[in-house]
Homo-oligomer: A and B are copies of this chain.
Amino acid sequence: MAKEITSREADYSQWYNDLVLKAGLADYSPVRGCMVIKPYGFGIWEKMQAALDKRFKETGHVNAYFPLFIPKSFLSKEASHIEGFAKECAVVTHYRLINDPNGKGVIVDPDAKLEEELIVRPTSETIIWNQYKNWIQSYRDLPLLINQWANVVRWEMRTRLFLRTAEFLWQEGHTAHATAQEAIEETEKMLDVYAEFAEQYLALPVIRGRKTPNERFAGAVDTYCIEAMMQDGQALQAGTSHFLGQNFAKAFEVQFLNKEGKQEFVWATSWGVSTRLVGALIMAHSDDDGLVLPPKLAPLHVAIVPIHKGEEDLNKLREKLIPLVNELKAKGITAKLDDDDTKRPGFKFAEYELRGVPVRLAMGMRDYEAGTVEIARRDTKTKETVSFDGIADHITKLLDDIQQNMYNKALAFRDSHIRKADTWDEFLKLIEEPGFISAHWDGTSETEDKIKELTKATIRCIPLNNPQEDGICVFSGSASKERVIFARAY
């Protein structure tokens, strides 16, 4: 095969990069840390967007669009927000280029300096809450349930395709509420939306939980998250939902007249998922031959390869296969008849494996005569010869099976890789093995920091509905009431 992929065992990190590049999902760009999302990768993101957007609207949200640029002074208004985001942002200082007087291209016009610098949004709480000030006067204006699909920029020093890029695409929900309780319910509701999306679409089991104060979003009172396990046992945060309390309302002076006729600060949430989910999808399911995509997010569901000698045979096969493509299309299944004569069937098989197409059909003249077709599934790499009669229904069912099987496999892998550590020695041993560690923690930032320093493991979350049990902190030995999830993370 022309496009060789490093094996997971040999170098997991290189395997990931190979897959992204060779399956045509993304490409490096000449701009440091920024990637190009190629059509095949963008096709996956579009499917994610469509499913999420539908769910956001079903839960009462509407879309809007706020400016890309944030005045520098806005970022400073919420004290912890600026601490979290100021270190990594793109700053616009000028608004014009002029011809270089030395005749070499163009230079920045020194006379076109902005009075106040503009920050390319790393997240939009500040610009949005500044606007909400004008939109919210009374409890009748609440709740305000707005989502935005946008690009954001965080000047990351170490970048990875999809997982951590300077510019990325995401959605950010920003809601405003009359009571703390309603805002907390919204925060939890959107966490559920994310968790269900991850499980039902990405076929990715996730742990719903809360972040520790150390890992909270800058400006949040409470950060909820979903955490997934990759095939190397590392954690990947797949989505976050924040209860912001009244922090941004106070910073931007957003008050409303409540039902009792009193001025009160508005309660807020924000929540987001990003193109990093494409990276999660790859890392969770794919193998050494290429991508393995869950049918619900695969841009192409079925690749159909005719095997023939000469145009006459091909035409016979086409007569059967073209109507099948249309029949599948009517069922919402995307199929492609690949009758390109310049490539051999074996090459095509490898190509569709690389690209993670869930189902592959092959039909030769013997199948044609016998009324059969060979059907191969990408997830298990098994194939069988089945009757061509009723093949569309067979495929429909098979796609459901594949979606479910991928989830089950990921779930079994994850559950067998969460281990309890009850002593520091156990912890040190387990952290060198793939997987999550469930351990008692004394609740202090100091212990959390120390464990991270010593092991690179962070507390991924305090699971929701966490069983309460008496124990002692794995590091300090202090009393603890519940276990938390530790892991090394992307």
Determine whether the beta carbon of A86 is less than 8 Å from that of B96.
yes
- Residues on the B chain within 8 Å of A42, using CB: 62-65
Which residues of B lie under 8 Å from residue A94 when comparing CB positions? 90-91, 93
A426 interfacial by beta-carbon distance below 8 Å: no
Residue in B76, B95, B105 whose beta carbon sits within 8 Å of that of A73 in the complex: B105
CB distance A39 to B68 under 8 Å?
A: no
CB distance from A371 to the nearest CB of B (A): 34
Answer yes or no: A327 CB below 8 A from chain B CBs. no
Shortest distance between the CB of A334 and any CB in chain B (Å): 11
Cβ-defined contact, A76 with B105, below 8 A: yes
With a CB–CB cut-off of 8 A, which chain B residues contact A86?
A: 96-99, 106
Interface string of A126-140 (1 = CB under 8 A from B): 010011001100001
Does A481 interact with chain B (Cβ within 8 Å)? no
- A30-B130 CB under 8 A given contacts A42-B64, A92-B90: yes
A162 to chain B, nearest CB (A): 12
A75-94 vs B: 1/0 string, CB under 8 Å?
11000001000111111111
Chain A interface residue bracket vs B: 35 or more
Task: A76 to B407: give the CA distance in the assembly, Å.
Answer: 50
Find out whether the CB atom of A97 lies under 8 angstroms from the CB atom of B72.
yes
Contact between chains at B105 and A36 (CB < 8 Å) = no
Q: Hey, which chain B residues are within 8 Å of A43, CB to CB?
A: 62-63
Whether B88 lies near A96 (C-beta < 8 A) is: yes
Check A479 for interface membership: any CB of B closer than 8 A. Answer: no
Contact of A65 among B63, B90, B95, B169 (CB under 8 A): B169
The stretch from A114-122, A385-393, A445-453 touching chain B is A114-122
Which residue of B has the minimal Cβ distance to A144? B39
Does the CB pair A95–B36 fall under 8 Å?
Answer: no
- Does A266 count as interface, using CB distance less than 8 angstroms? no
Contacting pair B106 A69 (CB below 8 A): no
Question: Roughly how many angstroms separate A68 CA and B167 CA in the complex, as a whole number?
Answer: 8
User: A82 touching B106 by the CB < 8 A rule?
Assistant: yes
A66 B29 Cβ-Cβ under 8 A: yes
Which residues of B have CB within 8 Å of A146?
39
A contact residues vs B (CB 8 Å cutoff): 27, 29-31, 34-39, 42-43, 45-46, 62-76, 82, 86-99, 105-106, 108, 117-120, 127, 130-131, 134-135, 140, 146, 150-151, 153, 155, 167, 169, 342
List of 3 A-B pairs having minimum Cβ-Cβ separation, nearest first: A76-B105, A34-B67, A39-B62
